[in-house]
Structure 1
Amino acid sequence: MDDQAEGGTQAISLSVVNGVATIIIDRPARKNALTAAMWAALIDAVEQVDALPEARVLIVRSGGSDFSAGADIAEFETVRRDADTARSYEALNAKAFAALRNVRVPTLAAIRGACLGGGFGLAISCDLRLAAPDARFSIPAAKLGLAYPAEGIRHIVWAAGPQLARYLVYSGQQISAARALDAGLLLEVVEDDALDARVETLAATIAANAPLTNRATKQAINAILSDDPLMMREAERLGDMTFISEDYAEGRRAFREKRKPVFTGR
Structure 2
Amino acid sequence: MIRLEKDGGFWTLTIDRPEKANSLTREMLTELADIATAAAEAQVLVITGTGKVFSAGADLDEARAGLATDPVWERLSGAVAALPGLTIAALNGTLAGGAMGMALACDLRLAVPGAKVFYPAIKLGFLPQPSDPVRMAQLIGPARTKLILMGAQKLTAEEAYAFGLIDRIVEGDVLAAAREMSADVLAADPKVTAGIKALCR
Q: TM-score range by the shorter chain?
A: over 0.9
- Tell me the CA shift for residue 71 of structure 1: 1.2
Classify the secondary structure of the residue corresponding to 2:48: strand
Partner in structure 1 of residue 45 of structure 2? 58
What is the RMSD computed on CA atoms of the aligned residues? 1.5
Query: Contact 1:59–1:203 (CA<8 Å) still a contact in 2?
Result: no
Deviations along 1:209-239, one digit per CA (max 9) or x if unpaired, are 22101112212323xxxxxxxxxxxxxxxxx
Partner in structure 1 of residue 11 of structure 2? 21
2:20 is equivalent to residue 33 of structure 1: no
Query: Contact 2:52–2:92 (CA<8 Å) still a contact in 1?
Result: yes
Inter-partner Cα distance in structure 1 for 2:145 and 2:125: 18
Larger fraction in strand: 2
Question: Which amino acid in 1 is paired with 2:151?
Answer: S
5+ residue gaps, structure 1: 1-10, 223-266
Inter-partner Cα distance in structure 2 for 1:56 and 1:150: 28
Select the structure with the greater relative contact order (CA < 8 A; seq sep ≥ 6). 2
Question: Which amino acid in 2 is paired with 1:28?
Answer: P
Partner in structure 1 of residue 97 of structure 2? 117
2:110 to 120, 124, 130: 130
- Tell me the CA shift for residue 115 of structure 1: 0.1
Query: Contact 2:98–2:128 (CA<8 Å) still a contact in 1?
Result: no
Partner in structure 1 of residue 62 of structure 2? 75
- Tell me the CA shift for residue 145 of structure 1: 1.2
Deviations along 1:54-86, one digit per CA (max 9) or x if unpaired, are x211111111111111111111232348xxxx3
Q: Which of the two has higher C-alpha Rg?
A: 1
- Tell me the CA shift for residue 162 of structure 1: 1.3
Inter-partner Cα distance in structure 1 for 2:180 and 2:166: 17
Query: Contact 1:108–1:203 (CA<8 Å) still a contact in 2?
Result: no
1:93-242 equivalence runs, <5 A? 93-191=73-171, 193-222=172-201
Question: Which amino acid in 1 is paired with 2:58?
Answer: A
Classify the secondary structure of the residue corresponding to 1:163: helix
5+ residue gaps, structure 2: none
Inter-partner Cα distance in structure 1 for 2:67 and 2:5: 31
- When normalised by structure 2's length, the TM-score is 0.94
- Tell me the CA shift for residue 38 of structure 1: 0.7
Question: Which amino acid in 1 is paired with 2:53?
Answer: D
Matched residue pairs, number? 201
Inter-partner Cα distance in structure 1 for 2:95 and 2:21: 9
- Tell me the CA shift for residue 160 of structure 1: 2.3
Deviations along 1:23-76, one digit per CA (max 9) or x if unpaired, are 1111111111110111100011112211x3xx2111111111111111111112
- When normalised by structure 1's length, the TM-score is 0.72
